[in-house]
Amino acid sequence: MKHAIYHYLTVLKLRKSFLDANYFNKRFYFNTEIAHLPIIKLQFSTNFSKAILFIENININKDIGSVRISFALNHFIVDRAYLSNDENYHIFEIYDSNIDQQLKFNGLCELKRQTSQVDDYTLIIDKSISIPLYGTLLVGQTGSGKTYALYSLILQMLIKNVQYNIYFADPKNSSLAILGERISAESTATNIEDIIKLLQNFNEMMEVRKAEIKDKLNTKLEATYANFRYEPFIFIFDEFASFQTVLQTMEKKKRDEVMKLLSQVFLQGRQLGFFLWIVMQKSDATLLPTNLRENMPVKFVLGNAEKQTYTTAFGTGVDVPEKNFALGQGVFTCPITANTPKICHFSYLDFDILEAVTPLRS
C-alpha cells in the first residue's frame, strides 16, 4: 500500500511539473483546449531502493531538461538519463538518496572479500559502483577525502590475483610517498628529476609490453591486455599541480619531453594496460593541459567543489547533481557506467593502512 501511494503521488507531482514547465502538446477536445501530457511509467526495484522512470518523448519543440523532475522525485536522485533505443521514451534511472552507499571495512580481510566479487581488472567504488581500469583524474580540495579514496583503490590493487605494478610520484613528499616506499621504494619518487626518470621508466616498460603483445593482438581484433591476463601498470601522480609549477621553470626541451611521455601513456596505455592517474586539488588548464585532461576517461571530483572545478573537469553544459557531499563523496564520469556526472561514495577504512600494506609487498 505504501508503495502504491508513493507511486501515485510521484506521478502526480511529475504531471504538475510538466504543466508548470509548459511541457505538453495542446489538443482540442469538444472545442475545448486541453494539455496532452506525456505518458509516465515508474518501475521500482524489489526493495524500492531504485527505480526506472519512463517519460514519453512527445513531439514538442522543448527540452525535457526544462522540467523540474528532481523536485517531483522527493528523496530520489537521477543517476542516469538517456533515450530509449526506439526514442519513444526518456529514461531516468533513479535511486533513494537516503540509503547509504558507502562501504565500510574494519580490516583488510573484509576488503578482500568484497573485492573478490569483481574481476581482477575492476575496482569497487561503493555498494553500487564498480569501474574497469582507465586513465583517471581525481580532484578534491583538502579535507574532501581524496587521499583516503586513493588508498582504498590502491589496497584493492594489492590484493588482486593479478599483480599490479604501481608507480608513485609525490612531489610534496607527503603520505602517498610514505605508502609508496612501503609498497615499492624503487617505484617511488618525490623530487622532480626522479619523477621524470620514473615516468621515462614507465614509458620504457610500455614499449616492452607493446612489442610483447603485438602478435597476440593480431589474433584478436580490439583485444586488450586484460584478454591475455597481462599485469596492469598504474602511475599515480599526486599533487600534479606542484610538479607542473616546477616543470614550467625548466627549459622548453625538458617540458616538451615530459608532456610527450604523459601523452604517450594516455594515447597508447588503454590497450596495453598502462594507466596514468592524476591527483590534484583543481584541474584548471594552467595546471593540467587540456589535451591531457580530455584524454582521461574517468574523472572524479570529491567534496563540495566550486562550479569552475566541475566545468574544467567535466566540460561546459554538464549538469552536476546538487548535494551537500560528505567526506569521500562526490561525482564522477566513466565510459558506459556514467556518461554524465554520477554520485559516488568511496569506502571508509577503519584500520591501519600502513600495517595492512606491510605483508602485501616488500
Three cell numbers written together for 84: 530509449
pLDDT for 229 equals 93
What pLDDT is attached to residue 201? 97
Q: How many other CB atoms are there within 10 angstroms of residue 116's CB atom?
A: 12
User: Edge-to-edge strand order for the sheet containing 233-237?
Assistant: 188-189, 165-169, 233-237, 274-280, 136-140, 298-302, 329-334, 338-345
Question: Each residue of 306-320: pLDDT tens digit?
Answer: 888 999 999 887 778
Average pLDDT over every residue of 199-207 = 97
Which residues contact residue 89 at a Cβ distance below 8 angstroms, ignoring those fewer than 6 apart? 41, 54, 55, 56, 57, 83
Res 6: pLDDT:
80
pLDDT in tens, 224-249: 999 999 999 999 999 999 999 999 99
Three-class SS state of 3: helix
pLDDT score at 162 = 95
pLDDT band at 26 (very low <50, low <70, confident <90, very high): confident
pTM: 0.85
One-letter-per-residue 3-state SS of 36-63: ECCCEEEEECCCCCEEEEEEECCCCCCC
Residue of higher predicted confidence among 223 and 205: 205
Query: pLDDT confidence of 98, banded at 50, 70, 90?
Result: confident
Between 27 and 152, where is the model more confident?
A: 152
- Region 284-300: what's the mean pLDDT? 89
Q: How far apart are CA 122 and CA 112, in angstroms?
A: 13
For 266-303, the three-class secondary structure string (H helix, E strand, C coil) is: HHHHHHHCEEEEEEECCCCCCCCCHHHHCCCCEEEEEC
Instruction: Note the pLDDT tens digit of each residue in 152-168.
Output: 999 999 999 999 999 99
Distance of CA 302 to the CA centre of its chain: 10
Rounded mean pLDDT, 205-217: 90
Helix (H) or strand (E) holding 189: strand 188-189
Helix axes 192-217, 252-272, angle to 10 degrees: 40
Residue 322, pLDDT score: 75
Higher pLDDT, 228 or 62: 228
Buried b (16+ CB within 10 A) or exposed e, 312-337: bbbeeeeebbeeebebbbbbbbbeeb
| pLDDT tens column, 258-282 | 999 999 999 999 999 999 999 999 8
Judge contact between 214 and 206, C-beta under 8 A.
no
pLDDT of residue 62: 76
Query: What is the pLDDT confidence band of residue 68, given thresholds at 50, 70 and 90?
Result: confident
Q: Which of 57-61, 153-157, 324-328 has the lowest mean pLDDT?
A: 57-61
If one compares 23 and 231, the residue with the highest pLDDT of the two is: 231
Q: Is the pLDDT of residue 361 over 70?
A: no
Q: Is the pLDDT assigned to residue 76 strictly greater than 90?
A: no
* pLDDT band at residue 71 using 50, 70 and 90 as cut-offs: confident
Domains of the chain: 2-96 (3.30.980), 104-357 (3.40.50.300)
**pLDDT computed for residue 58 by the predictor:** 84
- Within the chain, residue ranges assigned H as helices are 2-20, 69-72, 108-115, 146-158, 175-184, 192-217, 240-247, 252-272, 290-293, 307-314, 353-357
**Does residue 4 have a pLDDT over 90?**
no
Which pLDDT score, from 0 to 100, does residue 41 have?
Answer: 92
